[in-house]
Amino acid sequence: MADGIRLLLGGDSAGYHYKDAILADAREDPRVASVEDLGVNESDPKAGTYPSVAIAAATKIMAGEADRAILVCGTGIGVSIAANKVKGIRATVAHDSFSVERSILSNDCQILTMGERVIGLELARRLAKEWLGYAFDPSSHSKANVDEIVDYEGAPSD
């Protein structure tokens, strides 16, 4: 991310209005090196389900094709759950500034999710901008916690 964030944006039929607004903001943000719209779009709002969009975003991040994603559905919960099913992904719902900050600084999350039916558009746009400004510090005390999560996830399941 030294040259900027490679960002993915996605949502389902309940989140594409906010996704489109945040996408427009991201295209103007100098911290963003590239942005890819994973859909869905107003022209075909039923073109993808929240699990398909979230899994596509998470898979691209794990493949090294992107650094982060912002996903929007009705509540933010569905896209978060679906993205977290991809091994190695840390996705979270956050609808306030403190949680947005801690999602990166304490947890090194790669995916921020929000709900179009939960918060106002201007707050969603603001939170997305804030989130893009944070970077995880691997020398912080939180590194040990993130490592513990990563180590557990890599362990064989019972």
Closest CA to 67 of 109, 101, 29, 39: 109
Q: Beta partners for 111?
A: 69, 91
Catalytic residue chosen out of the listed positions 73, 86, 100, 114:
73
Is 73 part of the annotated catalytic residue set? yes
Active site residues: 73
